[in-house]
A and B are shown apart, each in its own frame.
Chain A
Amino acid sequence: MTMQALMRHRLLWPFATLVLLLAVNAVFNPGFWQLQWRDGHLYGSVIDILNRAAPLALVALGMTLVIATRGIDISVGAVVAIAAAVAALMIGGELVVKGGVQTHVSRFPMSVAILAALLVAAGCGLWNGLLVAKVGMQPIIATLILMVAGRGIAQLLTGGQIITVYYAPFFFLGNGFLLGLPFAVFIAAAVWVVLHLLMTRTALGLFIQAIGINPAAARLAGLHERLITICVYTFCGLAAGVAGLVISSNVKSADGNNAGMLMELDAILAVTLGGTALTGGRFSLAGSVLGALIIQTLTSTIYSIGVPPEINMVVKAAVVFVVMLMQSAEFRAAVRGWVVRPAAGGAR
């Protein structure tokens, strides 16, 4: 790739932002890049960031496709809570000592519980998709319904309590390691790879873009634009469900009130940081993953360099603001205009 093509690459700015954040971390926290090998697992700040960013990346991937169709899904945080609640309820679990041997017992088989949680999450997405594509509601209103109601549903499921899970095998999703790396990272990576293949090896990517740019023309060209839109929302719900499983597994409990709180906003932010316009059309999955990593790195940075907790939201907002400005070509051109004054009476 030539230097020029590199400078114009759409992922340049998200990537530069991430590198800069990592560099800041390395300066303030000399141990940032240190990795330790313990019990066959890798430990370190970077690994931690990857692990924590995984659920957000999952939600952001689903959100990317929804945004690409000109939509938005602000119910994903609530869907995270619902999926977590369903899984926690169905697994529950207790430690039974049978004949001196400790065994974990779950209420339903874990696979059934996971499947049920994912089905419920996909059902939530389907509901959103039907409201948007069949009923014709504006996406932000359609998903606002589930954003509000969903959290209520999650609380109903959990009876307003935090449900603790005592079934150890379930903890693997959010705490386990595979080949030395957190298992959650593999889940997010797998979803990303599958999506990437779907977008580049099938016509789905073209269809989603066409629908996002001009739904009327897409329909006229013979696309089943409603069906595709419904599928995209369903997938977004499903991705939020997977994130919910990872999160509840990580904290070994389900909190209907707080699980996935404000996650929709972080996901939208991740998509935007990754260079996908909220107006739909062209999108970047890799950009959204980068966006999720930026957000998680930023959060970790704020903690590690000791920003007082009461102002860390403000600091986060300020950084996001600057990053967004830097990504705008118009803004960069304006800055260049301030810095490099055009020579007076120069060439016409």
Chain B
Amino acid sequence: MSSDVVLEARGLTRRFTGVLALSGVDFRLLKGEVHALMGQNGAGKSTLIKVLTGVYPADAGELTLNGEAIHPGSPAAAQRLGISTVYQEVNLCPNLSVAENIFAGRYPRKRAAGLWRIDWSRMQVDARALLARLNLDIDVTRLLASYPVAVQQMVAIARALSVEAKVLILDEPTSSLDEQEVERLFTVLRQLRGEGMAILFVTHFFEQMYAISDRITVLRNGELVGEYLKAELPPAALITAMVGRELSAAAGRNEHANAATGPALLEARGFGRRGQLNPVDVSLRRGEVVGVGGLLGSGRTELARLLFGLDRSDSGELHVAGERVRFDNPAQAIRHGLGMCPEERKFDGIVAELSVRENIALALQARLGIWKYLSPTRQKEIADRFVKALGIKTADIDTPIALLSGGNQQKVVLARWLATEPRLLILDEPTRGIDVAAKQEIMNEILSLARGGLAVLFISSEMDEVVRVSDRIVVMRDRSKVGELPGNSSEQAVYHLIAAGT
């Protein structure tokens, strides 16, 4: 077996300002396998990947590739050795063409008129060939930004494949893909596996992990929990391995099925915007959790943006607490008691260099205006309260939010809105890229807020979450609402409705 080991790490240790991010971790990756790396946020997955790919040097331990010791000093060095990585956030240049992105830094050259010139035509041909391997046929001369994220992800993989890779590392490659796209990616991965590529795959999605991987390595608190064959580790055992304790199931909706009665808090009728969302009817009552089910591109996020005034509607009407309103910017929506946790936490949510305290106070302060200033002392009181209530893990409240893990950043954004005492919260993918335990905590928090009378519009691409927490489910497809289902419907019922709407 040992001859099949492509990449092996022994006793990897990495410390960040005194914190052990990796502590004596052993890891091996075999030829022709898809190996899943699992663990909660902060378990050390990212650090391990970054050590493997030369972003950080290891403080101790050794790395071997095909039996030879390697010391990649940079991602470029790792790539030359044959270790290619596709990161969670697409690390490409949106203002370059697809072909340029694939070959950035390694443009093919040709000799013409005595000079070395870039061989554009060869670059395009090669780019098309690489993408064809991924079953993607697109115009490679167009700007990357003109394609959806899913395509950009494929381009990132094509770029990783373009360098004779022996090892392909995928860090959360599916977090912005819809189901068909995931399936397409998996087809590609299976094909690569068949060709003998060693693939390391990091994901938060259990189903996908079980669908594609052969073996699983679990990390917890920077330490190796174990390496398992997929068959050895059913989901319950995996969660236990990741969390280190048994997880209680999320509080079910049944507890709270009686809450949502009375007049609508928010009511949208024929509400839409050309090219973004076909007119929809949506209503929410106090204490009600309304889930939005639908695939990527079904208009879920567009609905949230319109309701919150991020984009302007051009049809229909909107009523909040019986009053006809029109939101031209989020500030107006906030004044009517709305709040929104956006889909792209990093780009629309956190203010990276500001402290946890300032991030929590921001929306409340915006609502109070410039003159009614919350003094740092007052901000601290508010922040302390929510850090405690939501279990936000941070060294202290003056730590810049960028230093927190994804789950804790999301809790801060949630706290920012709770501080404004909203009547209605729009949560767009609040649990994306967050580990299981934090997910559970956030879901439980949402449910208990709803019990307290908050109306919640819950958008998630994880259908099991949607059916578990919602009182009602608005089902969307192709930028339209195709129907509504009661909260205790099965996932299959939702998918059925999506499919039936054709």
Contact = CB atoms under 8 A, between A and B. Distances in A.
Interface of A: 201-204, 206-207, 209-210, 213-214, 216-224, 281-282, 348
Given A206-B365, A220-B342, A222-B367, A213 B334 contact: no
Contacts of A220: 308, 310, 330, 340, 342, 348-349
Contact of B353 (A213, A224, A348): A213
Nearest to A231: B370
B60 A217 contact: no
Contacts of B330: 219-222
Contacts of B347: 214, 216-217
A282 B351 CA distance: 11
B369 interface: yes
B358 A206 contact: yes
Interface of B: 59-60, 308, 310, 329-331, 334, 340, 342, 347-354, 358, 361-363, 365-374, 416
7 contacts: A202-B371, A206-B354, A207-B365, A214-B352, A220-B348, A220-B349, A222-B367
A223 B369 contact: no
B352 A221 contact: no
Contact of B331 (A201, A204, A222, A281): A222
B365 A217 contact: no
Contacts of A202: 370-371, 373
A220 B309 CA distance: 9
A275 B300 CA distance: 43
B349 A203 contact: no
Contact of A207 (B329, B342, B370): B370
A203 B331 contact: no
Contacts of B342: 217, 220
Contacts of B365: 203, 206-207
B370 A214 contact: no
Contacts of A203: 365-366, 368-374
Contacts of A216: 347-348
Contacts of B367: 222
Nearest to A281: B353
A292 B59 CA distance: 44
Given A216-B347, A221-B330, A210 B354 contact: yes
Nearest to B368: A203
B329 A224 contact: yes
B377 to A, nearest CB: 13
B329 A217 contact: no
Contacts of B372: 203
B350 A223 contact: no
B371 A209 contact: no
Contact of A210 (B331, B362, B371): B362
Q: Which of B349, B351, B367 has the most CB of A within 10 A?
A: B351
Contacts of B348: 214, 216-217, 220
A222 B373 contact: no
Nearest to A210: B351
Given A202-B371, A203-B373, A203-B374, A223 B352 contact: no
Contacts of B60: 348
A213 B349 CA distance: 11
Q: List the 10 closest pairs (A to B, CB-CB), nearest first.
A: A222-B366, A222-B334, A221-B363, A222-B331, A221-B362, A214-B351, A216-B348, A203-B373, A203-B365, A223-B366
A202 B369 CA distance: 9
Contacts of A224: 329, 331
A203 B366 CA distance: 8
Given A202-B371, A203-B368, A203-B373, A217 B331 contact: no
B373 A217 contact: no
A213 B369 contact: no
Most buried by A among B350, B370, B373: B370
A111 B350 CA distance: 47
Contact of B416 (A207, A221, A348): A221
B358 A222 contact: no
A217 B351 contact: yes
A218 B351 contact: yes
B411 to A, nearest CB: 16
A219 B361 CA distance: 14
A217 B342 CA distance: 9
Contacts of A281: 353
A85 to B, nearest CB: 34
A347 to B, nearest CB: 11
Contact of B366 (A209, A214, A221): A221
A209 B352 CA distance: 11
A207 B366 contact: yes
B276 to A, nearest CB: 17
